[in-house]
Amino acid sequence: MRPNRALEIGTGLFVLLGFAALFFLTTQLPGSGLSLGTESGFRVTAKFDNVGDLKGGSPVSMAGVTVGRVESVGFDPNDFRAIVTMRIAPEYDRIPVDSDASIQTQGLLGGKYVGLGPGGSETYLKEGGQIEFTQSAIVLETLVNKFFANFSSRGSDGGDSDKASSDVAAKEDAK
């Protein structure tokens, strides 16, 4: 009976450790809303026409280095654009005011993040600053729809031109 009790305790500890690991990983996901520790740094905002599926907690990156996190994504009813609030880590306090922000994708099917491109100004972003130059997210569905719309319109108009170009090619081959 003694080995059975040890097996039960070992299994219970293993399950408990699994739940603790799962909780830790959940807090590390972008957009989970949970974070361990206090956030420091300064807030800046940027307005985009389309943010795709960008979420709070997503990374803010510059030259491939994470310099902050997205705090929130909201909507401005005055100019009908999305407002992204970012918290930049305090050690990156020398980002030029004329830098640009773009919504980018991590990998082929990955999540969205904000990529910052450096400007050339001698003044730097501060608490409450706004990034003026932005590039919105590229939505894959929109690109596919445009491709097929272009392809179908070319197919209905281009049928005769394809035949004409093949006739010219056949005549040149005959010479």
Q: Alpha-carbon distance 86 to 128, whole Å?
A: 10
pLDDT tens sequence across 132-160: 999 888 777 777 888 888 888 776 554 44
Position 8 pLDDT exceeds 70: yes
Enclosing H/E stretch for 65: strand 65-76
* For range 47-71, the mean pLDDT: 91
Tokens 């603790």 correspond to 20
Position 66 pLDDT exceeds 70: yes
- What pLDDT, on the 0 to 100 scale, is given for residue 145? 83
Confirm if 67 and 116 have CB atoms less than 8 A apart: yes
90 vs 136, higher pLDDT:
90
